[in-house]
Amino acid sequence: MKTIEQEKSDYLTRLMAKYAAEEPNLTELAMESFSLGVTFAQQWIPVDDELPEAVEHGESERVLIKTNKDEIFIASCHHSIDKTNHDWSVECNHLVDVEFWRPIEIK
């Protein structure tokens, strides 16, 4: 798998080959846009700010969660319609205090 920097470089090469003559500031715009996309994709969402959307019977799709001990697991969130009460189904052998979550796949 490529690193983010490798993909960023390849992305710029593809854009330059296609659009360089049309846009003089393409390099700067492309790098900023790519970096903003990476930042968005890697952000952790605090559970106090937002919970994953329920897709069926009050349960969310599986997401990545991060605990107060910086442990990362795959889990799904079960919550009431008004989201005042929620708990997590975590595939591990101990209880965790979930602080953040993010999608496994951004759609």
Each residue's pLDDT tens digit, 60-74: 888 999 988 898 988
Question: In terms of residue numbers, what domain contains 91?
Answer: 45-103
Are 70 and 35 in a shared domain? Answer: no
Do 52 and 102 touch, CB atoms closer than 8 A? no
Residue 64: its pLDDT value, please? 92
Are 78 and 66 in a shared domain? Answer: yes
Are 86 and 60 in a shared domain? Answer: yes
Are 57 and 26 in a shared domain? Answer: no
Residue 91: its pLDDT value, please? 67
Are 51 and 95 in a shared domain? Answer: yes
Least confident of 27-31, 42-46, 70-74, 89-93: 89-93
Are 25 and 60 in a shared domain? Answer: no
Are 74 and 91 in a shared domain? Answer: yes
Q: What are phi and psi of 75, to 5 degrees?
A: -155, 170
Are 15 and 50 in a shared domain? Answer: no
Are 55 and 72 in a shared domain? Answer: yes
Helix H segments across the chain? 4-19, 26-42
Are 32 and 68 in a shared domain? Answer: no
Percent pLDDT > 70 in the chain is 89
